[in-house]
Amino acid sequence: MDWREFTGAFKDMSFYLAYNTNVDAIVYLTPEKVQALIEEFGADNVRKRIEEYPRQIDEPLDFVARLVHALKTGKPNAVPMFDQSLNNWFDGHFKYDVERIGGQVGIIANILASLDFKRVIAYSPLLGKKQAEMFVDRPNLFYPVVENEMLAFKPPREAYREDDPVKINRIFEFRKGMRFRLGEEEIEVPFSGRFIVSSRPTELRIETRDELRPFLPQIGESVDGIILSGYQGIKRHYPDGKTDDYYIARARRDIELLKKNHDVKVHIEFASIQDKELRKKVVRELFPMADSVGMDEAEIAHVLNVMGYPDLSDRIFNYNRIEDVVLGGKIILDEANLEILQIHTIYYIMYIARSSNPLKEEELRSSLELATVLAATRASLGDITRPEDLAVGEKVPYNERGEYVKLRFEEARKRIRTRGYKIVIIPTRLVKNPVSTVGLGDTISAGAFASYLALLRRKGVL
Ligand code: AMP
C-alpha cells in the first residue's frame, strides 16, 4: 500500500492511547545562550559535572552539564526534574519560543486525529484546561469520562478538570553545526536534535484512574489498536508510600483489562528511562504483555543493558552498527515474546518479526515507508493537519547514506543468523532543516503501528 491507500484505510480504524500528555515549552538554542550558561557556571565545573553524569536534575548545574553533553554527542536525550522549585530558575533564564502539546499521547493523538482516523481516544490521568486546549479541535478526538456510572467520550475541551495540574516539559532544540567553547575545547554539534528536561509533578501518577478502570475491557473492544506510553514517568517512591512496583502491577492489569473482551493489539512506545531499576521493570514486566514495541537507537542500547547484554549494549551505543542492532533486536523480540519490534534511527527504520508473521517483507517495508513519509511531513511542516499533507513527505528524498545503509544491512544478513525472522529495513527520508525534531520518533512509531494493523486488517487476520 502507498500512503494514499493507507490513509484511506485509516478512516475505518480507531485507536486508544494512554498515558502521557504534557505541554512542551520549546527553546531554540543559540550558541550565545549556551556559551553564556557555560560562563555562568564555569567550564571546569561543567566538565566535572558531565563526568558525574547526573541522572536527574536537582540543580541548574546538572542541567547545564547534561545539556552540554547532549550537544557534544548530538544525541537526543531526556532527563527528569522532580524538584518543581527549579521552575523559577528556568523561567528566569529562558524565553520560550513555542508552546505546544507534548507527551507521546498528546503528539500521537493530534497526528492520528488530523489523519482522519475514525476515532482517537486519548487518555491521561491529568487533564488541566491548558492541556485540554492543546489537543486539535476535531470531531474524531475524544477523552474518556465516566458519567452516571457509564462510559462516555467527550472532546478534551469539554472534559478537562479545572484543578488538575499541568505538566510542562522544557525542550531545548539544537542545530547541527552550532559551535561553542567549553574552556579550551571547541565543540561543534554533530546532529540536530533536542534535549528535554522532563518535569515530574508529584500529583502525576501514570495510571488509569479507578473510576475508568472497570471500562477498559469495553474500550479495548471498541478499537483496532492501542498505543501505550509514558512509563518513564513512574517514580520509585511516592510520598503516600506507593512504589513503582504498585504502578507497574497496575499497568500490567490495565493491559489485561484492555485485552479482556477482545485480543486487541497493543504497542508500547518506549522512551528513555534513566533509572535502571525502573527500566528493567518496564522491559521485563510490561514488554511481554505487548504485541509490538517501538524505540530508537539509544533506547535499544538501554534496553539490552538491563536485559543482561551490557557488551552488545555498549557496542550499539558507541558504534551504532546495523548488525549489532539486528542482533539486539532479535534478542528483545525473543525475550519479550513480541510479535514485532520497530527500531528507528536517524538513517534507517527497521522491523524485526518472526518468519511466521502474516505480512510479507514487502508489506512490512511499505509500513515503514508510511512511517518515514509521515515523519518527513511533520519535520517539513511542523504539524500534520490533513492526510493530503503526506504528499510533502513523499517528496523528501531518502538520506544520502540510504544506499550505504542497505548495503550494510545485506552484509549483516549474511553474517548473522536471520533464519526464523523477517527483518526489513528502509532508509529514512531526512528533512535538511526540520521545523522541529520533537515527536518525530513518536510519529514514526504511530505511523508504523497503524499501517501494520491496516495491512493485517486487509489480510483479514485482525
Ligand atoms: P526519537 O529519537 O525517538 O525522537 O526519533 C527520532 C527519529 O526521527 C530519528 O530516528 C529519525 O528517523 C527521525 N528524524 C530525525 N530527524 C529527522 C529529520 N530532520 N527529518 C525526518 N526525520 C527525522
Q: Whose CA is nearest to atom 22 of ligand 1?
A: 430
Please tell me the distance between residue 428's alpha carbon and the centre of ligand 1 in angstroms.
8
Q: Whose CA is nearest to atom 3 of ligand 1?
A: 441
The third-level CATH classification (topology) of the domain covering 26-100+166-199 is Adenosine kinase, small domain (3.30.1110)
Q: Which residues line ligand 1 (CB under 6 A)?
A: 76, 296, 344-346, 375-376, 379, 428, 430-431, 434, 437, 440-441, 444
**Ligand 1 pocket: which of 173, 300, 437 to mutate (most atoms within 8 A of CB):** 437
Q: Whose CA is nearest to atom 11 of ligand 1?
A: 346
Amino acid at site 13: M
Please tell me the distance between residue 371's alpha carbon and the centre of ligand 1 in angstroms.
11
Ligand 1: which atom is nearest the Cα of residue 376? 21
Ligand 1: which atom is nearest the Cα of residue 429? 21
Report how far residue 453's alpha carbon sits from residue 109's, in angstroms, rounded to the nearest whole number.
17
**Ligand 1 pocket: which of 384, 440, 442 to mutate (most atoms within 8 A of CB):** 440
Please tell me the distance between residue 430's alpha carbon and the centre of ligand 1 in angstroms.
8
Ligand 1: which atom is nearest the Cα of residue 443? 8
Question: Are residues 293 and 342 in contact, defined by beta-carbon separation less than 8 angstroms?
Answer: yes
Taking alpha carbons only, the member of 460, 444, 289 closest to residue 369 is 444
The answer to whether residue 263 is catalytic is no
Question: Residue 75: its pLDDT value, please?
Answer: 86
Cell of 101: 502539546
Q: Whose CA is nearest to atom 15 of ligand 1?
A: 346
pTM for the full model?
0.90
Q: Whose CA is nearest to atom 4 of ligand 1?
A: 441
- Number of neighbours of residue 199 by Cβ within 10 angstroms: 25
Taking alpha carbons only, the member of 101, 102, 113, 106 closest to residue 450 is 113
Sign of the torsion formed by the C-alpha atoms of 261, 262, 263 and 268: negative
Residues 211-261 have pLDDT tens digits of 999 999 999 999 999 999 999 999 999 999 999 999 999 999 999 999 999
Question: Residue 381: its pLDDT value, please?
Answer: 97
Report how far residue 443's alpha carbon sits from residue 433's, in angstroms, rounded to the nearest whole number.
17
Question: Residue 201: its pLDDT value, please?
Answer: 82
Residues forming CATH 3.40.1190.20 domain(s) in the chain:
3-21+102-164+202-459
User: Which string of DSSP letters, residue by residue, matches 74-126?
Assistant: T--EEEEE--GGGHHHHHHH---SEEEEESHHHHHHHHHHHTT-SEEEEE-S-
- Determine the distance from the C-alpha atom of residue 127 to the mean position of all C-alpha atoms in its chain, rounded to a whole number: 20
* Exposure class string for 66-94: b at 16+ Cβ within 10 A, else e: bbbbbbbebbbbbbbbeeeebeeebeeeb
- Number of neighbours of residue 355 by Cβ within 10 angstroms: 11
The CATH code belonging to domain 3-21+102-164+202-459 is 3.40.1190.20
Residues forming CATH 3.30.1110.20 domain(s) in the chain:
26-100+166-199
Residues 82-108 have pLDDT tens digits of 888 898 899 899 999 999 999 999 999
Q: Mean pLDDT, 10 residues at a time, over the chain (462 residues)?
A: 97 98 94 97 97 96 98 91 89 92 97 98 95 97 97 98 91 95 96 91 92 98 98 92 97 98 97 93 98 96 97 94 96 98 97 98 98 98 97 98 94 88 97 90 98 97 90
Please tell me the distance between residue 319's alpha carbon and the centre of ligand 1 in angstroms.
18
Measured in degrees and rounded to the nearest 5, phi and psi for residue 351 equal: -115, 140
Question: Residue 82: its pLDDT value, please?
Answer: 87
Please tell me the distance between residue 28's alpha carbon and the centre of ligand 1 in angstroms.
17
Q: Whose CA is nearest to atom 23 of ligand 1?
A: 430
Residues 6+ apart with CB under 8 A from 435: 379, 380, 381, 382
Cell of 126: 491529568
* Cα R_g (the chain), whole angstroms: 21
**Ligand 1 pocket: which of 195, 229, 322, 346 to mutate (most atoms within 8 A of CB):** 346
Question: Residue 160: its pLDDT value, please?
Answer: 97
- Report helix, strand or coil for 258: helix
Question: Residue 438: its pLDDT value, please?
Answer: 84
Q: How far is CA 150 from CA 144, 147, 362, in A?
A: 10, 5, 44
User: Which string of DSSP letters, residue by residue, matches 335-361?
Assistant: HTT-SEEEEE-SSEEEEEEETT-SS-H
Residues 6+ apart with CB under 8 A from 110: 101, 135, 136, 141, 383
Longest dimension (CA), the chain: 66
